């Protein structure tokens, strides 16, 4: 069986030259689009380049496979479309979940679900709008498999990832995910210590189940990875290296390191600012280390704090690059920002999207999930996200931060 492989050194350089020529061929009539495509793709050169068994390439965890149609649509969302469009959505299909993680960002969300035909119609609308990279999740999506299948059938062939704990997995469901052309699955692994992870999720056996699920999905041909939330203290004390070793041991393609956010069930939580700053610095260093050609571990580290740093794309919530749709239809700028720009059951997607774009006109370096966490917490009731009228009042006072360098240079958000 062909395996995924990391491309480094001269081969990586040659790949980028070939890709640039392909872009030049595609956009030679539009010099501005060509310049912008080059500005944008160049920043991914610092990442490990993965050649997949399918013959396609992954420049970055969040970018669709090259040279898929999804890749070029993502590029065109940015370099051709005016105004530029978002590339990705995190879509929750159900809040149902048997786990009790203390940090869960949707813990206080309304548990109702959009009726399935309406959910499917909304998915079609977002797909036709140019959303090309999908992270489909729950709660636990495998527990509501008929909903998951219906959604995946609409977006088969795009860049599709499923976030799942593996709870409720069966060989038939895994086979079906592969049939529906799911690119990859991500499972939460928050510790190398089985007991510690299980204590966090509140469910005995959850660590083992996640690893078994990833093993079976890999065998079915999908990419696999960990979604890992480490505390700042764990990061400072060498936790990233330990998780990366575990990921390599289990043949994972990716580790997405998510930094803890004061949202959902953790809304109002205080983090030590000095420790946090250290953790961010260490996570960025780790990203560079694990993406360098000298890295001895094949798994790729994708630390959110690096991907969202000023040297990369900054905060791209609010429909700049991404947004979130909760299980009951609330449109949020990001899963970690519990405010709603409208519920799809009440307003058309376009309306919620336009509201969101007005609130986040320019991509900025400051992280919305941190910058506005206290203010959102101060206005939150028992139920999240904040409904549109309160969101509207809140965001009216928000000022733009410092524009993200790469998008500023491209000049597409002025
Ligand atoms: C909501 S879960 C959805 C998929 C599945 N239920 C799971 O936990 O893997 C998506 C990811 O977000 C992470 N997450 C949830 N709340 C968070 C928070 N407040 N801060 C940081 N990460 C969070 C979870 O740990 C998980 O890795
Ligand atoms: S983070 Fe995921 S697994 Fe944990 S409670 Fe929330 S939805 Fe369930
Ligand atoms: S709000 Fe911005 S910085 Fe925070 S997680 Fe979302 S996209 Fe990233």
* Distance from Cα 407 to the centre of ligand 2, integer Å: 33
- Residue 2 pLDDT grade (very low, low, confident, very high; cuts 50, 70, 90): low
Q: Cα separation of 200 and 198, whole Å? A: 5
pLDDT digits (tens, 9 = 90+) for 298-325: 999 999 999 999 999 999 999 999 999 9
User: Is the beta carbon of 287 within 6 A of some atom in ligand 1?
Assistant: no
The least confident of 31-40, 241-250, 368-377 is 31-40
Mean pLDDT of 3-10: 88
Q: How many CA atoms lie within 13 A of 117 on its CB side?
A: 0
Which residues, in sequence order, are CB contacts of 368 under 8 Å at separation 6+? 315, 317, 318, 333, 334, 337, 360
Tokens of 187: 């499972």
Index of the ligand 1 atom closest to the CA of residue 228: 27
User: Is the beta carbon of 143 within 6 A of some atom in ligand 2?
Assistant: no
DSSP state for residue 129 in the 8-state scheme: T
Residues β-bridged to residue 386: 339
Chain centre distance of CA 1: 29
Biggest alpha carbon–alpha carbon distance for the chain: 59
- Computed over every residue of the chain, the mean pLDDT equals 96
Residues β-bridged to residue 258: 229
- Residue 1 pLDDT grade (very low, low, confident, very high; cuts 50, 70, 90): low
User: Is the beta carbon of 312 within 6 A of some atom in ligand 3?
Assistant: no
* Distance from Cα 327 to the centre of ligand 3, integer Å: 19
Residue 133, helix vs strand vs coil: strand
Ligand nearest to the Cα of 166, by number: 1
Cβ atoms of 89 and 135 within 8 Å: the answer is: yes
**pTM for the full predicted model:** 0.97
Taking 80 as the threshold, does the pLDDT of residue 3 lie above it? no
Taking 80 as the threshold, does the pLDDT of residue 83 lie above it? yes
* Distance from Cα 125 to the centre of ligand 1, integer Å: 26
**Torsion of Cα atoms, 330 then 334 then 337 then 339, to 10°:** -30
Q: Cα separation of 23 and 72, whole Å? A: 9
Ligand nearest to the Cα of 260, by number: 1
User: Is the beta carbon of 104 within 6 A of some atom in ligand 1?
Assistant: yes
Q: Cα separation of 334 and 315, whole Å? A: 10
Q: Are strands 5-7 and 49-51 parallel, antiparallel or unpaired?
A: antiparallel
Mean pLDDT of 162-179: 98
User: Is the beta carbon of 164 within 6 A of some atom in ligand 2?
Assistant: no
Index of the ligand 3 atom closest to the CA of residue 334: 6
More confident residue, 33 or 324: 324
Q: Determine the residue of 229, 256, 326 to mutate for testing ligand 1's pocket, defined as the one with the most ligand atoms within 8 A of the Cβ atom.
A: 229
Q: Cα separation of 136 and 151, whole Å? A: 8
Q: Cα separation of 204 and 193, whole Å? A: 12
- Residue 328 pLDDT grade (very low, low, confident, very high; cuts 50, 70, 90): very high
Q: Are strands 184-188 and 159-163 parallel, antiparallel or unpaired?
A: parallel
Mean pLDDT of 135-155: 98
Cβ atoms of 250 and 214 within 8 Å: the answer is: yes
Index of the ligand 2 atom closest to the CA of residue 206: 3
Ligand nearest to the Cα of 188, by number: 1
* Distance from Cα 203 to the centre of ligand 2, integer Å: 11
User: Is the beta carbon of 260 within 6 A of some atom in ligand 1?
Assistant: yes
pLDDT digits (tens, 9 = 90+) for 178-231: 999 999 999 999 999 999 999 999 999 999 999 999 999 999 999 999 999 999
Residue 301, helix vs strand vs coil: strand
CA–CA distance from 67 to each of 53, 136, 284 (Å)?
14, 22, 28
Percent of the chain topping pLDDT 70: 100
CA–CA distance from 236 to each of 84, 233, 241, 259, 296 (Å)?
38, 5, 11, 13, 21
User: Is the beta carbon of 105 within 6 A of some atom in ligand 1?
Assistant: yes
User: Is the beta carbon of 316 within 6 A of some atom in ligand 3?
Assistant: yes
- CA-proximal residue: ligand 2, atom 1 (nearest): 104
Taking 80 as the threshold, does the pLDDT of residue 268 lie above it? yes
Residue 404, helix vs strand vs coil: coil
Index of the ligand 2 atom closest to the CA of residue 138: 7
Q: Which pLDDT does position 232 carry in this prediction?
A: 98
CA–CA distance from 303 to each of 118, 251, 316, 338, 351 (Å)?
34, 18, 15, 22, 32
* Distance from Cα 355 to the centre of ligand 3, integer Å: 18
Count the neighbouring beta carbons within 10 Å of the beta carbon of residue 127.
15
* Distance from Cα 22 to the centre of ligand 1, integer Å: 37
Q: Cα separation of 393 and 55, whole Å? A: 49
- C-alpha angle 407/411/62, rounded to 5°? 30
Q: Which pLDDT does position 8 carry in this prediction?
A: 86
Characterize 10-21 residue by residue with b for buried, 16 or more Cβ atoms within 10 angstroms of its Cβ, and e for exposed.
eebeebbeebee
Mean pLDDT of 135-160: 98
* Distance from Cα 316 to the centre of ligand 3, integer Å: 7
**Domain range annotation of the chain:** 5-79
* Distance from Cα 104 to the centre of ligand 1, integer Å: 6
- CA-proximal residue: ligand 3, atom 6 (nearest): 334
Index of the ligand 1 atom closest to the CA of residue 263: 19
User: Is the beta carbon of 165 within 6 A of some atom in ligand 2?
Assistant: yes
Index of the ligand 2 atom closest to the CA of residue 167: 3
Q: Are strands 322-325 and 88-92 parallel, antiparallel or unpaired?
A: parallel
């Amino acid at each position: 069986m062909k395996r995924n492989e990391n491309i480094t050194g001269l081969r990586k350089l040659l790949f980028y030259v070939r890709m640039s020529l392909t872009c030049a061929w595609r956009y030679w009539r539009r010099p501005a689009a060509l310049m912008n495509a080059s500005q944008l793709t160049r920043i991914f050169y610092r990442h490990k380049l993965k050649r997949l068994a399918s013959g396609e390439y992954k420049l970055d965890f969040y970018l669709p496979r090259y040279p898929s149609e999804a890749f070029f649509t993502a590029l065109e969302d940015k370099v051709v479309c005016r105004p530029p469009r978002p590339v990705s959505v995190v879509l929750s299909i159900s809040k149902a979940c048997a786990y009790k993680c203390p940090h869960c960002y949707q813990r206080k969300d309304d548990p109702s679900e959009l009726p399935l035909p309406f959910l499917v119609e909304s998915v079609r609308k977002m797909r036709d709008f140019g959303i090309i990279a999908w992270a489909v999740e729950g709660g636990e999506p495998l527990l509501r498999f008929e909903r998951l299948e219906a959604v995946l059938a609409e977006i088969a062939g795009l860049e599709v990832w499923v976030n799942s704990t593996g709870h409720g997995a069966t060989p038939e469901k895994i086979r079906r995910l592969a049939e529906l052309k799911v690119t990859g699955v991500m499972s939460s692994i928050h510790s190398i210590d089985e007991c510690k992870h299980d204590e966090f999720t509140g469910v005995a056996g959850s660590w083992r189940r996640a690893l078994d699920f990833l093993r079976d999905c890999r065998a079915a041909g999908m990419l696999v990875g960990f979604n890992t939330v480490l505390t700042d203290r764990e990061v400072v004390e060498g936790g990233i290296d330990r998780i990366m070793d575990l990921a390599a041991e289990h043949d994972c393609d990716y580790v997405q390191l998510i930094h803890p956010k004061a949202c959902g069930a953790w809304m109002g939580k205080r983090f030590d600012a000095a420790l946090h700053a250290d953790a961010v610095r260490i996570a960025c260093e780790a990203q560079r280390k694990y993406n360098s050609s000298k890295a001895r571990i094949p798994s790729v580290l994708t630390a959110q704090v690096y991907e969202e740093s000023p040297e990369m794309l900054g905060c791209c919530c609010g429909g700049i690059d991404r947004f979130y749709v909760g299980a009951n239809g609330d449109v949020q700028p990001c899963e970690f920002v519990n405010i709603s720009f409208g519920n799809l059951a009440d307003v058309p997607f376009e309306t919620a999207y336009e509201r969101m774009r007005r609130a986040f006109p320019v991509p900025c370096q400051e992280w919305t999930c941190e910058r506005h966490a206290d203010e959102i917490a101060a206005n939150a009731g028992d139920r999240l996200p904040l409904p549109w009228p309160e969101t509207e009042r809140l965001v009216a006072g928000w000022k733009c931060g410092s524009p993200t360098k790469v998008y500023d240079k491209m000049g597409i958000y002025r």
